[in-house]
Amino acid sequence: MPVYKAEAIVLRRTNLGEADRIVTLFCRDQGKVAAVAKGARKPKSRLSGRLELFSHVRLLLAVGRSLDVVSQVDVVHAHSPLRADLERLGFAAFAIELTDRATADREPAPEIFESLCGALEHMQEADPQLVALWFVARLLVHTGYAPVTDQCQVCGRVVRGTSAFSYALGGTLCEADRHRDPDAIVVSAGALHMVGGLLHAQPPALGTLTPDRKLRSEVGGVLQRYAEYRWETKLKSPGVIAALARPARTQRRVN
Ligand SMILES: [Zn+2]
């Protein structure tokens, strides 16, 4: 069997048979790949503990008839703090679920891989909710769906203040054109400004953002629903969705 090297984030795991596991890997160069980790659930297996959710790994994969086979794994970053804290776990789960929905099998998307690595890395220390919001914004940019937050999507006129936002048209609408999408929602000027900023921010800059609870919830709602609309999906983790609308723990402590 031909073998190849891959660098990946573990997106999903399911049990197979008595001791095997199927892992969905998001690989930097190969895109999303499902592979069998034989014997991975046996405590003494050399794969055991190395294919945890969110882990950043380097692998050797053998090309299989239907699924490729994991033959070797080295952990680059275990990202274990993400599994030790419920809130971080929720936001990290949200990031990998979105990545899974927004990407296709075997379609390389190295820029999404970089953003996902950055998001998981920063979620370990920084405010995980803000990092999750940033990640949705980056994913929209990388897939060509960045929402327009300051211009009418129909006539191009500059839009200021609280405005209509259309998921279907991918951005704001002016007063005269808001009837073009009866499903357009009303979004505050603050939320539009924050979404616009997140689209091109770098994770270290997120520390300078101090959105209050209401703004976090509004931005989280808009980005999530827009992402769900674009990828024609409903995120399976309603607990996680609720968590996005909740103030982060650090925020609660300050208040
Ligand atoms: Zn217009």
The closest of 128, 27, 121 to 77, measured between CA atoms, is: 121
The closest of 119, 116, 137, 115 to 127, measured between CA atoms, is: 119
Per-residue model confidence (pLDDT) at position 239: 61
Neighbours of 24 (CB within 10 A): 19
Q: Please return the burial class of 176, using the count of CB atoms within 10 Å of its CB with bins 0-12, 13-18 and 19+.
A: exposed
3-78 matches 81-254 in fold: no
Half-sphere CA count of 20, side-chain side, radius 13 A: 11
Per-residue model confidence (pLDDT) at position 248: 57
- Residues bordering ligand 1, an ion, CB closer than 5 Å: 152, 154-155, 157, 174, 177
Predicted TM-score (pTM) of the model is: 0.91
Compute the distance from residue 139 Cα to the ligand 1 centre, in Å. Answer: 26
* CATH 2.40.50.140, domain 3-78, yes or no: yes
Q: Tell which CATH classification among 1.10.10.60, 3.90.1150.10, 1.20.1440.120, 3.40.50.10890 matches the domain 81-254.
A: 1.20.1440.120
Compute the distance from residue 167 Cα to the ligand 1 centre, in Å. Answer: 15
The closest of 89, 74, 97 to 124, measured between CA atoms, is: 89
Per-residue model confidence (pLDDT) at position 237: 60
Quick one: tokens of 208?
A: 């300078």
- Report strand pairing: 20-27 vs 68-77: unpaired
Per-residue model confidence (pLDDT) at position 238: 47
Compute the distance from residue 179 Cα to the ligand 1 centre, in Å. Answer: 10
The closest of 92, 60, 57, 58 to 78, measured between CA atoms, is: 57
pLDDT averaged per 10 residues in sequence order, the chain, 255 residues = 96 95 97 96 90 97 95 97 90 94 96 97 94 96 97 96 97 97 97 96 89 92 94 75 56 44
Per-residue model confidence (pLDDT) at position 86: 85
Compute the distance from residue 184 Cα to the ligand 1 centre, in Å. Answer: 13
Q: What are the residue ranges spanned by the domains of the chain?
A: 3-78, 81-254
The closest of 249, 252, 245 to 214, measured between CA atoms, is: 245
Per-residue model confidence (pLDDT) at position 255: 39
Compute the distance from residue 182 Cα to the ligand 1 centre, in Å. Answer: 14
Positive/negative CA dihedral, 113, 118, 123, 124? positive
Compute the distance from residue 89 Cα to the ligand 1 centre, in Å. Answer: 41
